[in-house]
Amino acid sequence: MQIKESSKIYDVIIVGSGAGGGMATKILGDAGLKVAVVEAGPFFDPKSQEQQTQLKWPYESPRRGASTVRPFGDFDSAYGGWEIEGEPYTRKHGTKFDWFRSRMLGGRTNHWGRISLRFGPDDFKKKNIDGLGDNWPIGYDDVKPYYDKVDKLIGVFGTKEGLKNDPDGYFLPPPKPRLHELFYIKGTKKSNIPAIPSRMSMLTKKINEDRGICFYCGQCSRACQVYADFSSGTCLIFPAQKNGGQIDLFLNAMVREVTTNAEGKATGVSYINKEDRKEYKLKGKIIVLAASACSSARILLNSKSKQHPNGLGNSSNIVGKYLHDSTGANRSAFIPDLMNRKTYNEDGVGGMHVYTPWWLDNKKLDFPRGYHIEQWGGLGMPSYGFGFNPNDLNKYIGEKVGGYGESLRDDVKKYYGSVIGISGRGESVAMKDNYCEIDPTTVDEFGIPVLQFHYKWSDFEVKQAKHMHETFEEIIHNMGGHVLQDRPTKEQEYGLLTPGRIIHEVGTTRMGDNKKISVVNKYQQLHEVDNVFVVDAGPFVSQADKNPTWTILALSWRTSDYIIEQLKQQNI
Amino acid sequence: MDRRKSIKSIILGSVAGGLAVNGCKPGTEEALVETTVKVDENHFGRTPSEKELIAELNAKTFFNPHELETIEVLCDLILPATTSIGGAVEAEVTDFIEFMLKDIPEYQPILRGGLMWLDHKSNTDFGSEFKSSMETQQKEILDTIAFPDIEVPQNQRPLEIQFFSLMRNLTLTGYYTSKIGIEDIGYKGNTPNVWDGVPEDVLEQHGVSYDEEWIAKCIDQSKRSDIAKWDENGNLLT
């Protein structure tokens, strides 16, 4: 079988269409470059009547939205999950890592939580503070102009709070808190824990003529048909096309490797077309990897040649190393004061209207890094699982649990909206020994060697999870609530979720000035191959107690500007 | 029904209501048209392979007619109709349970085994299958399995108790995710609207209130369609 080669030479080939790839497409496309976007999944537009899940009722799904097929249920927009048929990965030495992939145009930005937080000045220089890990080679001042531009281009609501490590931006006004959020605010206040309006990328106000305004269905995880929330397809790739960009989309195209010439420079990519299962080659002057931290590392490691025997850009042996995800721990509570609610439409925006940024000084604690707190609750739309154990909460008010008949209706109504959830999402310390590498014994259904993961939480993260639960219990107590689960024990690592579960994996192609201990420079350009860039979260030196997307977007924009500049100067 | 039209009118209605409170602003009507949404009831966003899976599951039959009839009797006992609203039978929960047992095969042994237990118990005590016993007899049996000892972890309870808990869970979730059930619970969302805070009477009922300083920072919904502009310090001007 001969590999089919296209004669067209692109200025840039972008691998992946999520946050990083979308932003590169927008900036490089707007600059007039000939761009190929190679995406492993199908086309997706939440406006499409056939693909839409927004505003569907539970009974439109025969499984009522159960998570049998899609991990977040039938109505979530992600095509993919932690397990994808035909695309396995393996784990080493009994360690655990779960790898989430969305195979679709826009990638995981179609279903993500839209929590859009800037990293603060401290987040780029953690080693200066606690001596652990490494500093980034750039600081907040380098990224700030791009955060500002991202805020204005995409839109994010929030409030100016003047917090040192949670910088303000160009915010749209936030929505008012829901009822349970007023209880949360009250509960945090009692313990001097801050609660502020959340910062999320939904349009509470118009920002341009192309995108609609939020109509408060609370279903951002289903992707918005009027483009009122941020996803890469609707807010970056479609506008770049509309703007007259020379952009060719290659869909259902699974990239195998970056091709190189005798001088070791990148010449393009080879990919498998999922429809005819044949291998193709695309030629390009510049390759921008945005396939997600682990997928980009996999492509680099699989791109072996005479010039790059250890994989592309991997003389340092650092590709795949320093993999880290946010930490996560969850608890829920029953709040008697939220019983017997009148019902009204409080869908609001998808997710929380209120959150808690990290508020303590780690120098006074027994773990080095912080976490933020998210919460949920309210009069949500019933979905599979609603009504399970309908009156278990009776035990808290001295009534009998169980039974059948008409009284169950009263129980379900009595407790509707009285349970809240609290989650901590924190920073872990990047470790060289947490990594992904190629497992030479296994290939996916396209014949591409797969990743093998090795990941262990350290004591830092375990102690942080313990602190999260102590905080949750305190807040719940302040709200007059009953904690619903026992506090997880030390043996259970205090309920610390398996790495990969928060879907913030970063660090596999980390940036630095020293080529021996990093993969890309401060412009996310491979140290060893100057026409290859990585614009997903792989270059993150450390994943703050924030969500990574806003930083991926800002850095991808910054790198795209650098590429344009370098092309002008004929440096690459 | 043309759902597109009806949602549009709902939007017009709700925003018009909001305008009466906030005072009329010029230019708002154009924005209303933009928030018009389309919903095609023939699809719920399935990919081709997901459609195939659903078709495959629908082509299979799990329960036999006797089992289905017994499930229907149970549904009616667990969530009967009231004088004003239909119950689990009217909400076609039996069909839902048949589908779920194929979708989540782990449920099969416990549910099928539980149904056998019910008939055995009913035959032993009353000399008739469960579905044909008198309602008082049926309830007599259910009373022995419907009230679990909550001190015992769920998976350590006797099978017939686990069976009834699963049956009750599926019945209630099937009901409250149906059209009838959503009406019964009073869920008011899943429709375009303009969120402007918790109603005053609800705040009062639960003894909370909005902080004025906080509310002052929130979106003024009468300005939602004015394009955002900021000064160089990030202060919103519009």
pLDDT digits (tens, 9 = 90+) for A233-290: 999 999 999 999 999 999 999 999 999 999 999 999 999 999 999 999 999 999 999 9
Chain B contact probe: residue of A160, A163, A342, A409 with most B CBs at under 10 A: A409
- Residues facing A288 on adjacent strands: A14, A533
**Predicted pLDDT of residue B37:** 84
Q: Is the distance from CB of B219 to CB of A173 less than 8 angstroms?
A: yes
How many Cβ atoms from other residues are within 10 Å of residue A340's Cβ?
15
Q: Which backbone phi and psi does B166 adopt, to 5 degrees?
A: -65, -45
pLDDT band of residue B35 (cuts 50, 70, 90) is low
Using CB atoms within 10 Å of the CB of residue A548, give its burial: 0 to 12 exposed, 13 to 18 middle, 19+ buried.
buried
Please give the Cα distance from A478 to A190 (Å, whole number): 7
DSSP state of B110: H
How many Cβ atoms from other residues are within 10 Å of residue A447's Cβ?
11
pLDDT surpassing 90 at residue B5 = no
Q: Which amino acid is present at A363?
A: K
Q: Residue written as tokens 């927004």?
A: A54
Q: Which two tokens stand for residue A353?
A: 């209207």
Number of A–B residue contacts, CB under 8 Å: 275
pLDDT surpassing 90 at residue B14 = no
3-state class (DSSP) for residue A509 = coil
Please give the Cα distance from A413 to A387 (Å, whole number): 10
Contact list in A for residue B21 (CB cut-off 8 A) is: none
Contact list in B for residue A385 (CB cut-off 8 A) is: 173
DSSP state of A204: S
A234-259: b (≥16 Cβ within 10 Å) or e? bbbbbbbbeeebebebbbbbbbbbbb
Q: What is the mean pLDDT of chain B?
A: 88
- CB contact set of A139 (below 8 Å; sequence gap of 6+): A121, A124, A125
Cβ B173–A388 below 8 Å, yes or no? yes
Please give the Cα distance from A4 to A278 (Å, whole number): 8
pLDDT surpassing 90 at residue B38 = no
- Among B80, B185, B194, beta carbon nearest to A405: B80
Is the CB of B200 inside 8 Å of chain A's CB atoms? no
Please give the Cα distance from A327 to A367 (Å, whole number): 13
Average pLDDT over residues A433-457: 98
Instruction: For residue A507, give the nearest of A548, A559, A456 by alpha carbon.
Output: A548
Please give the Cα distance from A443 to B114 (Å, whole number): 44
3-state class (DSSP) for residue A450 = strand
Q: Which two tokens stand for residue A296?
A: 């980009």
Share of chain A above pLDDT 90, in %: 99
Q: What element of type H or E holds A142?
A: helix A140-154
Share of chain A above pLDDT 70, in %: 100
Q: What is the mean pLDDT of chain A?
A: 97
Is the CB of B12 inside 8 Å of chain A's CB atoms? no
HEC readout, A283-347: EEEEEEECCCHHHHHHHHHHCCCCCCCCCCCCCCCCCCCCCECCEEEEEEEECHHHCCCCCCCCC
Q: Which two tokens stand for residue A401?
A: 């649990």
Q: Give the pairing type, strands A327-334 and A419-426.
A: antiparallel
Contact list in A for residue B207 (CB cut-off 8 A) is: 337
Q: Is the distance from CB of A202 to CB of A233 less than 8 angstroms?
A: no
Average pLDDT over residues A496-507: 98
pLDDT band of residue A173 (cuts 50, 70, 90) is very high
- CB contact set of B87 (below 8 Å; sequence gap of 6+): B75, B76, B79, B80, B81, B175
B38 CA: distance to closest CA in chain A (Å)? 8
Going through A16-78 in order, the beta strands assigned E by DSSP cover 34-38
Contact list in B for residue A275 (CB cut-off 8 A) is: none
Q: Which backbone phi and psi does A442 adopt, to 5 degrees?
A: -135, 135
Chain B contact probe: residue of A52, A68, A205, A219 with most B CBs at under 10 A: A205
Cβ A347–B195 below 8 Å, yes or no? yes
Cβ A341–B202 below 8 Å, yes or no? yes
Measure CA of the first residue to CA of the last residue in chain A; give whole Å.
33
Please give the Cα distance from A138 to A511 (Å, whole number): 9
Distance of CA A154 to the CA centre of its chain: 16
Q: Which two tokens stand for residue B63?
A: 């329960």
Contact list in A for residue B146 (CB cut-off 8 A) is: 402-404
Distance of CA A52 to the CA centre of its chain: 21
Average pLDDT over residues A347-374: 98
Instruction: For residue B194, give the nearest of B34, B40, B38, B35 by alpha carbon.
Output: B35
Please give the Cα distance from B225 to A101 (Å, whole number): 36
Cβ A405–B193 below 8 Å, yes or no? no
Q: Which backbone phi and psi does A440 adopt, to 5 degrees?
A: -70, -10
Q: Residue written as tokens 């824990």?
A: A193
pLDDT digits (tens, 9 = 90+) for B147-202: 999 999 999 999 999 999 999 999 999 999 999 999 999 999 999 999 999 999 99
Q: Which long-range contacts (CB under 8 A, 24 or more apart) does A308-313 make?
A: A308/A260, A308/A264, A308/A528, A308/A529, A311/A438, A312/A257, A312/A258, A312/A260, A312/A266, A312/A526, A312/A528, A312/A529, A312/A532, A313/A509, A313/A519, A313/A520, A313/A526, A313/A527, A313/A528, A313/A529, A313/A532
**Predicted pLDDT of residue A5:** 83
Q: Give the pairing type, strands A246-250 and A34-38.
A: parallel
How many Cβ atoms from other residues are within 10 Å of residue A484's Cβ?
16
Instruction: For residue A557, give the nearest of A148, A217, A208, A168 by alpha carbon.
Output: A148
- Among B43, B79, B82, beta carbon nearest to A50: B43
Share of chain B above pLDDT 90, in %: 82
Q: Is the distance from CB of A82 to CB of A100 less than 8 angstroms?
A: yes
Please give the Cα distance from A365 to A463 (Å, whole number): 9
Please give the Cα distance from A517 to A537 (Å, whole number): 17
Q: Is the distance from CB of A534 to CB of A509 less than 8 angstroms?
A: yes
Please give the Cα distance from A507 to A322 (Å, whole number): 5
Q: Is the distance from CB of B170 to CB of B114 less than 8 angstroms?
A: no
Please state which of the ranges A11-20, A34-43, A53-62, B25-34 shows the lowest mean pLDDT. B25-34
Interface of B with A in 148-187 (CB under 8 A): 148, 150, 165, 168-169, 172-179, 181-182, 184-187
Q: Residue written as tokens 């300083």?
A: B213
pLDDT digits (tens, 9 = 90+) for A380-390: 999 999 999 99
Instruction: For residue B193, give the nearest of B4, B27, B1, B7 by alpha carbon.
Output: B7
Using CB atoms within 10 Å of the CB of residue B227, give its burial: 0 to 12 exposed, 13 to 18 middle, 19+ buried.
exposed
Average pLDDT over residues A57-66: 98
pLDDT digits (tens, 9 = 90+) for A285-340: 999 999 999 999 999 999 999 999 999 999 999 999 999 999 999 999 999 999 99
Predicted TM-score of the model (pTM): 0.95
- Among B82, B174, B205, beta carbon nearest to A342: B205
Q: Residue written as tokens 């808990």?
A: B165
| Distance set, CA B140 to CA A3, A403, A414, B118, B133 (Å) | 73, 12, 27, 11, 11
Q: Which amino acid is present at A486?
A: D
Is the CB of B6 inside 8 Å of chain A's CB atoms? no
Q: Is the distance from CB of A471 to CB of A424 less than 8 angstroms?
A: yes
Q: Residue written as tokens 């016993």?
A: B133
- Among B57, B190, B230, beta carbon nearest to A217: B190
How many Cβ atoms from other residues are within 10 Å of residue B29's Cβ?
14
Cβ B40–A52 below 8 Å, yes or no? yes
| Distance set, CA A344 to CA A382, B18, B193 (Å) | 14, 15, 11
Please give the Cα distance from A357 to A195 (Å, whole number): 7
Q: Is the distance from CB of A214 to CB of A373 less than 8 angstroms?
A: no
ipTM above 0.90, yes or no: yes
Instruction: For residue A381, give the nearest of A61, A77, A55, A47 by alpha carbon.
Output: A55
